[in-house]
Amino acid sequence: MTTDRDEDAAGRKQAVLGIIGGSGLYDLPGLDNARWEGVESPWGEASDEILFAEIDGLPVRFLPRHGRGHRLAPGDINYRANIDALKRAGVTDLVSFSACGSLREDYPPGQFVLVDQFIDQTRDRERSFFGAGCVAHVSMADPVSPTLVTLLREAMAQEQVDASESGTYVVIDGPQFSSRAESRLYRSWGCDVIGMTNMPEAKLAREAELAYATVAMVTDYDCWHDTHDAVDVAGVLAVMKRNTEQAKRVIRRLGSTFPREHPPCPEADQALDVAIVTAPERRDPDIVRKLDAVAGRRL
């Protein structure tokens, strides 16, 4: 496995591209040297095994967020185990693909959105690796890597996939879709897309010092739109299939053009430098052991 120790004398780190596949994206067939491998995590069981593969020599790690066959609802996903397992698999740069509803007239089904902000409306999910025994507070002011977003935008342009430049993603618990009142409320907040999975995923990626970006793939207009039917699974699945094929093309293009050295991301690379506030002598050794992959650089 690749680890944080895979650096040269100048401190350059080999890039390992991680992909989290959302609804509809459960596999990446046709990659080089592909094998599924289980990665154990002290935080529990990840959604599935991780696909270890390469694209033109670039190491790639793929994890289906809901598991192959879509076994897990959004609230049943062990987000901590997923991020920890990807970190243990050597991932340096993580791209999340997520099926979402649109809260904007000009983001129709089939539109891709390069999200740059989140609003977390989830309630009962484990949202941090830290807590009693080892407290840390990372910044989420800028939750995505601008370099990753630029690389994604270029890959999409080369594949002629239409993508917006920015967007705010409101994350709800689900598994039910929103009421009309909720949908209209989120529109009044200035949210652009709505989904059920990118929180606490984005927060945990930041705690694990992983550069992170989200591609929101619009499947529907949620239920706010007066001239479109309310959200139903059949309609979502039809658009999702088309989106998934485009996503696979984008991933292949991104892998072929991605820098072979990890592109610096100060927001993520040094996220824990001033985040851990518990004095070393007061840290719970059991928690510290569980944090060996996530925060080993600092602990």
Three-state helix/strand/coil letters over the chain = CCCCCCECCCCCEECCEEEEECCCCCCCCCCEEEEEECCCECCECCCCCEEEEEECCEEEEEEECCCCCCCCCHHHCCHHHHHHHHHHCCCCEEEEEEEEEECCCCCCCCCEEEECEEEECCCCCCCCCCECCECECCCCCCCCCHHHHHHHHHHHHHCCCCEECCCEEEECCCCCCCCHHHHHHHHHCCCCEEECCHHHHHHHHHHCCCEEEEEEEEEECCCCCCCCCCCCHHHHHHHHHHHHHHHHHHHHHHHHHCCCECCCCHHHHCCCCCCECCCHHHCCHHHHHHCHHHHCCCC
Give the residues of the chain that fall short of pLDDT 70. 1-11, 227-233
Residue 259 covered by a domain: yes
222 is catalytic: yes
Rounded to 5°, angle at Cα 13 from 11 and 14: 150
State the catalytic residue, choosing from 222, 269, 273, 292: 222
State the catalytic residue, choosing from 93, 116, 192, 220: 220
Residue 298 covered by a domain: no
Residue 7 covered by a domain: no
Confirm whether residue 99 is marked as ligand binding: yes
Token readout for 233 is 């699974």
Q: Which 8-state DSSP code applies to residue 74?
A: G
Tally of domains in the chain:
1
Confirm whether residue 262 is marked as ligand binding: no
Residue 198's pLDDT is 98
220 is catalytic: yes
Confirm whether residue 180 is marked as ligand binding: no
Token readout for 74 is 């959004």
Residue 6 covered by a domain: no
Which CATH number goes with the domain that contains 166?
Answer: 3.40.50.1580
Confirm whether residue 98 is marked as ligand binding: yes
Confirm whether residue 196 is marked as ligand binding: yes
The span from the CA of 104 to the CA of 168, in Å, is 11
Residue 3 covered by a domain: no
Residue 296 covered by a domain: no
Confirm whether residue 221 is marked as ligand binding: yes
Q: Residue 66: which domain range? A: 17-290
Is the entire prediction scored with pTM above 0.85?
yes
Residue 239's pLDDT is 85
Residue 230's pLDDT is 56
Residue 137 covered by a domain: yes
